[in-house]
Structure 1
Amino acid sequence: MGARPSRPGQLAPGLLEQMAGGMDPQAISELAHVSAAALLDRVHHSEDPAVVERVLTLVDREGVDVIAELWSSSEPDSLPGILWRLYMLRTWMRRHRDSIARLWRVGEPVATSASAIAGVDQAPTEDDIARLADSILSGAFTGDFAVALERASAFTDVVATGLRIEAHRLVVSANNGAAAESDVTDEDALRTKAARLMHTAGNLFATAKDFQHGANLWRRGRLE
């Protein structure tokens, strides 16, 4: 009988108890960097598809709160910070695949370099978005890490553009409503929704820059 496969996707119960009781911020930071590097290294040196699958679905099985304890407070120009953003991107894409597919079609109406970099068709379906979510994250572990980050950056940037375009359309609708002396409450609701979309778009544009910066750091051997 062969050796029992390791389970890099699981966290030790003792570690979880320590985190629940509160750990020193410096200790958490050190643990974040060590765990991120170990996880990435383990999968890069494994040819076992089951290992890749367990790491890919880490958040699904362990829960987002547990992973957040380790990585969410890490800086975006660090390996744990970037891995946290990649996992959250996958979770978000899979949960909102339908609306994200629509936003891509709005933000990228004509195939451009972003389509080629991200690996997305001009008019992706929600299933295409789910597959892409897995592809970007698994590519980070099994392929060129910098390329995976560039794909994530290109994709996030286009979706953010889609949100900004939709926000602009809502503002135009609100202004047209005002000209027609329609219900002011409806106009306010449109502007409020537009403001929320713009806020989300701003966060996504910032995340896209984090991914691109992470790719540049990785290529220079400075993402730790």
Structure 2
Amino acid sequence: MHFGSGSIVSSGSGFTHTGSPRPSRPGQLDQAIADNIVGGLDPEYVTEMSHATAAALLDHVHSTADPAVVERVLTIVDREGVDVIAELWSHAEPDSLPGVLWRLYCLRSWVRLHREAVTRLWRLGEPMVTSASAVAGVDSAPTEDDLVRTADSILRGAFRGDFAMALDRAAAFVEVIVLGLRIQARRLTSRAAIAEHDGDLRTKAARLLHTAGNLTQTAKDLRGGAHLWRIGKLE
């Protein structure tokens, strides 16, 4: 199912518009749509289901040696649409297993949908935090394909490697993008200061800063999830 023509707006995840003029193909998933998906189900039942499915999925992939199974789990959004996982996981608390898995899937989808804009933002932000790029596992001047492969490897690592490390990598990745957004916003604000008609530029800058704020929280949620996993309290 596809909704609208805008960016993916993941309920509670922070991934939203990057400022790219290119429209995305899969549609927008906003709060109202997510609410309609779960409909009249008992919230407690939905919560139980979200935790049970997240734990079962992670356990199943960890225990299988079949690469086809792993690939199907990693690409479920590509094949079925983001609403498949949104139905159960988008409302999960950020300090829960379904909550952090939802953010990992959204990160991968977001990078794929906005690869050009994300690459531009990465190149703006990376010189400010080279250590973050090392943690994320990305070169200083990546191509669009490099960043897509990195997002894939982060999600794959969550299922096949060290789960906490995957969350730390995801957080570092997001933090670089946040810096890129803030730098771009400052540039727009500077241009607005010398422009005769600066309203549009200031509006764009404000939107970028809003996205940066949301993504900052997402990075904190991912790091918090990594900590909880390491002490055995991420459920």
What amino acid is the match of 1:23? Answer: L
Q: Which residue of 2 aligns with 1:196?
A: 207
Q: Does 1:159 align with 2:177?
A: yes
What amino acid is the match of 2:185? Answer: A
- TM-aligned CA deviation for residue 109 of structure 1: 2.1
- TM-aligned CA deviation for residue 110 of structure 1: 6.0
Contact 2:154–2:170 (CA<8 Å) still a contact in 1? yes
Q: Which residue of 2 aligns with 1:137?
A: 155
Identity %: 66
- TM-aligned CA deviation for residue 21 of structure 1: 6.4
The alignment partner of 1:122 has SS state of coil
Q: Distance in 1 between matches of 2:135 and 2:183?
A: 21
Tell me which of 31, 41, 47 is aligned to 2:65.
47
What amino acid is the match of 1:144? Answer: D
Q: Which residue of 2 aligns with 1:101?
A: 119
Q: Does 1:32 align with 2:29?
A: no
Contact 2:138–2:150 (CA<8 Å) still a contact in 1? yes
Contact 1:110–1:122 (CA<8 Å) still a contact in 2? no
Q: Mean Cα displacement is larger for which, 137-146 or 51-60?
A: 51-60
CA deviations 1:6-37 (Å, max 9, x no partner) are xxxxxxxxxxxxx7763211111000000000
Higher helix share: 1
Q: Which residue of 1 aligns with 2:216?
A: 205
Counting only pairs closer than 5 Å after superposition, residues 10-25 of structure 1 correspond to structure 2 as: 22-25=40-43
Q: Distance in 2 between matches of 1:111 and 1:202?
A: 17
What amino acid is the match of 2:175? Answer: D
Q: Which residue of 1 aligns with 2:79?
A: 61
The alignment partner of 1:109 has SS state of helix
What amino acid is the match of 2:178? Answer: A
Q: Which residue of 2 aligns with 1:84?
A: 102
Change (3 A) 1:203 1:111: closer
Contact 2:129–2:176 (CA<8 Å) still a contact in 1? no
Q: Which residue of 2 aligns with 1:148?
A: 166
What amino acid is the match of 1:198? Answer: L
What amino acid is the match of 2:127? Answer: P
The alignment partner of 2:134 has SS state of helix
Which structure 1 segments of 5+ residues have no match?
1-18
Contact 2:170–2:219 (CA<8 Å) still a contact in 1? yes
Query: Please, what TM-score do these two structures have when normalized by structure 2?
Result: 0.82
Which structure 2 segments of 5+ residues have no match?
1-36
Q: State which structure, 1 or 2, has the greater radius of gyration over its C-alpha atoms.
A: 1
- TM-aligned CA deviation for residue 67 of structure 1: 1.4
CA deviations 1:40-65 (Å, max 9, x no partner) are 00101111110110000111222211
Query: Please, what TM-score do these two structures have when normalized by structure 1?
Result: 0.86
Tell me which of 148, 166, 175 is aligned to 2:193.
175
Q: Distance in 2 between matches of 1:62 and 1:188?
A: 40
What amino acid is the match of 1:138? Answer: R
Aligned-residue Cα RMSD (Å) equals 1.3
Q: Does 1:214 align with 2:225?
A: yes
What amino acid is the match of 2:159? Answer: F
Q: Does 1:70 align with 2:81?
A: no
- TM-aligned CA deviation for residue 127 of structure 1: 0.4
